[in-house]
A and B are shown apart, each in its own frame.
Chain A
Amino acid sequence: MTAYEPVIGLEIHVQLATRTKMFCGCELVFGDPPNTHTCPVCLGMPGTLPVVNAEAIRLGLMIGAAFGGELAQRLVFHRKSYFYPDLPKGYQISQFDEPLVSGGRLGDVGLERVHVEEDAAKLTHAGATGRIGGSTSSVVDYNRGGTPLAEIVTLPEIRSAEQASSWLRLLRETLRQLGVSDVNMEEGSLRCDANISIRPVGETTLGTKTELKNMNSFRFIEQGINAEVARQTALVQAGERVQQETLHFDPRTGSITSLRSKEGSHDYRYFPEPDMPPVAVPDELLQSALSSVPELPLERAERFRTELGLHEESARLLAFRRALGDYFEETLQAGGAGTDKQQVANWIGNDLVRRLEAQRKDDEAGETDTDPAQSKVTPAALAELVALVVAKKINRKAGEQVLDVLVAEGGRPQAVVEAKGLAAVGGADELRPVVQAALDANPDVVEKLRTGNMKPIGAIVGAVMKETKGRADGGEVTRITREILGL
């Protein structure tokens, strides 16, 4: 049977973090009572005209610069026409053949374009499903109408649902670190549509695509794409054809329903917005955008890997979670020369994050980052803790106990070690008699060890730990055992 591969492109709408709307002075606030942030312009009252928000353009240019795309020299807007109550003018002011950014790349996915436009108002449909089908009435909140959006369109270079969701996480973190958007999927400041087609493996032309609309979590994106790929594959294997259409994925039922077919698709009648003649992008605006782009996750990960020698996985973890990365670098600074960077990375990425996340059970979606800088564990304390463990002044297990105390109460590791008597049972001199005693007490284990079977050494380590109340170093116990037995 022919094997098929999915071909996926994403279209991401990002609400830009400006103070005011795209074409008027209304303030942007999420969650305020409906229709409290409106004016004649964003309500499309007769006679009103749009005036472009320079900050939105600056943020759009920052996105383009971050992706290495080609930045437009002039701003050209088009009108995209369709009738719907969420669109007060009967057209959306968007961009068409001259987007703000052309090309570019983020990680493993190339970009087609980034353009800026205004968001539609928010419709709420009263009725069982919350969707327009079957609803009895609909109400409109124009607070959202006119919010600046950047639409980011990828090339069809994604080959799996998992790749789509992991790339989208990278995009979200990159945009977050750029500071151009809140990128909050629940509040809708980041929304994702996927264009999906399948083709026989090895084929280079594209199959007929469908567009899966508005999936508002990473999990739904993966589920939705997988469901649609499965649907298309089943269709094609049954000898049928995929129809070009716009689809909705219902995460509750896992079902996919058609919103409109190609025949029912809009003719948007794009034409140049006559209320806003083309204007050159002012040089100050461009320079301001270029100089505002910070070090971004992929660059930081690369630096952590090549300059600090972190493993790939640690480098990405710390770079993709800005708060962790910043805390990591502060800890290195506090620790000074000679600090074991990989160990610090491990302690932050595993032990500290796990403890801090356990503290905040409310954050189940993991939408907001855990920030160790907000905890009671100072970078200096963590650096000291890692140094104690690396120098074998305490063993790892003791280190974890110290960290428990730091997370709960703060303080300095050395003080905790002393208060709790966690200092490691010193060097070989102190430990050797204890190991010898354990070997003497377990002749059967010794016999196995002598045959080269090292598995039962755990029993020796366990006995030593029991004797030292856990303060011995497991590696040291093994080393001494080998020495005594001449292995």
Chain B
Amino acid sequence: MTDPISLSVVEAASALRRGDLSQDELFTAYRDRAAADDTNSFTWLADDLQAGLGGRDAAPGTDRPLAGVPLAVKDLFCVTGVPTASASNLLRGYRPPYTATAIDRLQHEGATILGKTNQDEFAMGSSNENSAFGPVLNPWDRTKVPGGSSGGSAAAVAAGLAPAAIGTDTGGSVRQPAALCGVVGLKPTYGTVSRYGMIAFASSLDQAGPITRNVADAAVLFRAMTGPADRNDMTSIGWAGQAAGIEVPSAERLDGVRIGVPTELLGEGVEPGVRASFDAALARAEELGATVVPIDLPHARHALSAYYLLAPAEASSNLARFDGVRYGNRADIGDGGLVELYTRTRHDGFGPEVKRRIMLGTYALSSGFYDAYYRRAQQTRTKIVEDFAAAHRDVDLIATPTSPTVAWGLGERTDDPVAMYQADVTTLPQSLAGVPAISIPCGLSDGLPVGLQLSGAAFSEQRILDAAHALEQVLGFDASPARRRGPAAPDAPAATGKDAA
């Protein structure tokens, strides 16, 4: 019989429906692998299939499209009764009373929860080193970072610890770790997947998306996560307004597809190996019939500074609720008063990067600085939205390397926040524009995966998935987890801090 671990989501779902595989068998196979994980990808593992129902009384019928498919879910998604901490000490041990809409929809389609995955604390980071549960190791090289903030989700899929994972993307947090771990990551159009139940980082940017072994799986999971607008989320527009549903991509050609390459985003920061791999992928696209043209996104180079004002501004407000009064871990202040309760709780509970961003955001919103920072950044964002709209009058898709570099060494950038922030330079413009984008692996550089990012106009997910699928077939990147199983590097940091189930 086929090793269940080798099956993609689409294949596993089909095997489960045919009865070639039982839900327990599949769950246990992944549970065993995840329990032996040496990448620190998980913050919590379900003991069994029942625990993986996450607050639901019973598994949905076996006729559901994803019936029995176990998913690794980023820690910041609230799931009834399941530890949900957004990788923060402040929330360690917190179990929400409700389940996030995106996860609820996946469960409704039959998916079960294998575990919660490690991430940067409150999704703030590009390397998954800002986690209260310790860093995640890149399965390709355990001395390297997996990217972030959905590092645990990407590493779990890359290491074959789960058939697929759900992450969130604020400035690249699905795409960049997918690229650094050699898997597929889709950030949908802002609003197509409900944010209800995602512990917010930056409300106007946060968007949930799947991390998978191939493009078809991303399509299947995205289809399950979207749907009608969520009545609990006023920013949710769902997929209901779109004429067509999401199809599993089958395109093999790119005839007539115009791909724009923004020259501004291919500056000196892009490593030669990444550039070579990216250029080779574009050449394959042309062979499939696509036309590749240079385009201008004149304001894209300001995306980094705009993003690092807007996202922290929203975060400073979104994180104000973590005060130790109603939930989470409250500092012991003895006879101290209210201010001390707030101060100690937040001092002890938040990690340094979260504190840095709260300070940045508070400053940007302060009276006297608002116009110079927050308002200016919003104006820049509008310009970037206009840039993308103008570009898409000429091209169907925009291609960039997902990350200017391959995975870097653990600890290499932790003392230099600005260098860390620059890791997102090619994913931030699409986030600010709110448009959909996918990252697919397109080759190796120094033995580490390189990601190709394809983005399109709002709601062009189908076109992006089709093109990514066609390219995936010819690029021939082997994402099968067995290939990169190997012993942990001897000097890799120990996996720490896992919650008991």
Contacts and interface: CB of A to CB of B under 8 A. Distances in A.
B367 interface: yes
A88 interface: yes
Interface string B335-373: 000100010000000000000000000100111001000
Interface in B192-207: 195-200, 202-204
Contact of A46 (B203, B234, B321, B374): B321
Interface stretch (A240-248, A270-278, A371-379): A270-278
B94 A90 contact: no
A472 B200 CA distance: 84
A403 to B, nearest CB: 57
B232 A49 contact: yes
B25 interface: no
B234 A89 contact: no
Contacts of B84: 46
B374 A89 contact: no
Given A269-B366, A271-B313, A81 B234 contact: no
A271 B199 contact: no
B96 A47 contact: yes
Interface string A45-89: 111111110000000000000000000000000010101010011
Interface string B68-91: 000000001110000010100001
Contacts of B321: 44, 46, 88-90
A178 interface: no
A267 B365 CA distance: 9
Interface in A18-67: 40, 43-52
Given A269-B362, A274-B204, A45 B96 contact: yes
Given A40-B97, A40-B98, A45-B97, A90 B199 contact: no
Given A40-B98, A267-B367, A271-B370, A90 B232 contact: no
A107 to B, nearest CB: 35
Contacts of B326: 43-45, 88
Contact of A91 (B197, B204, B317): B317
Contacts of B231: 51
A271 B327 contact: no
A191 B362 CA distance: 31
Contacts of B325: 85, 88, 140
A46 B91 contact: yes
Given A83-B320, A91-B317, A269-B367, A46 B235 contact: no
B412 interface: no
Given A49-B196, A52-B234, A83 B204 contact: no
Contacts of B196: 47-49
B370 A47 contact: no
Contacts of B317: 79, 81, 90-91, 269, 271
Interface in A260-301: 267, 269-271, 274-277, 279
Interface core residue of B198, B199, B342, B365 (most chain A CB under 10 Å)? B365
Contacts of A85: 323, 325, 338
Given A46-B94, A47-B96, A277 B235 contact: yes
Nearest to A279: B234
B320 A275 contact: no
A79 B202 CA distance: 14
A43 B323 CA distance: 12
B478 to A, nearest CB: 37
Interface in B297-346: 313-314, 316-317, 319-323, 325-327, 338, 342
Contacts of B204: 274
A51 B313 contact: no
B366 A267 contact: yes
B235 A89 contact: no
B203 A275 contact: yes
Interface string B193-223: 0011111101110000000000000000000
A225 B448 CA distance: 74
B75 to A, nearest CB: 11
Contact of A81 (B198, B320, B323): B320
Interface string B94-108: 101110100000000
Given A46-B199, A47-B198, A271 B232 contact: no
B195 A49 contact: yes
Given A89-B321, A276-B234, A83 B365 contact: no
A81 B318 CA distance: 10
A277 to B, nearest CB: 6
B98 A271 contact: no
B323 A275 contact: no
A271 B365 contact: yes
B233 interface: yes
Contact of B234 (A40, A83, A277): A277
Contacts of A43: 326
B365 A269 contact: yes
Contacts of A81: 317, 320, 365
B367 A47 contact: no
B5 to A, nearest CB: 32
A45 B320 CA distance: 11
A26 B236 CA distance: 21
Contacts of B370: 269, 271
Nearest to A23: B234
A45 B196 CA distance: 11
Interface in A418-433: none
A89 B200 CA distance: 12
Nearest to B200: A47
B314 A274 contact: yes
B314 to A, nearest CB: 5
B96 A46 contact: yes
A140 B325 CA distance: 10
A90 B362 CA distance: 13
Given A45-B96, A46-B94, A90-B317, A275 B235 contact: yes
B235 A90 contact: no
A47 B233 contact: no
A52 B320 CA distance: 21
B331 to A, nearest CB: 15
A88 B323 CA distance: 9
B3 to A, nearest CB: 36
Nearest to A44: B321
16 contacts: A40-B98, A44-B326, A45-B97, A47-B76, A47-B200, A49-B195, A49-B232, A90-B320, A90-B323, A269-B316, A269-B362, A269-B367, A271-B313, A271-B374, A275-B233, A277-B235
Interface of B: 76-78, 84, 86, 91, 94, 96-98, 100, 195-200, 202-204, 231-235, 313-314, 316-317, 319-323, 325-327, 338, 342, 362, 365-367, 370, 374
Given A45-B98, A47-B96, 19 more contacts: A40-B97, A45-B96, A45-B326, A45-B327, A46-B78, A46-B84, A46-B321, A47-B196, A47-B198, A79-B317, A83-B342, A89-B320, A140-B325, A267-B367, A270-B365, A271-B317, A271-B370, A275-B234, A275-B235
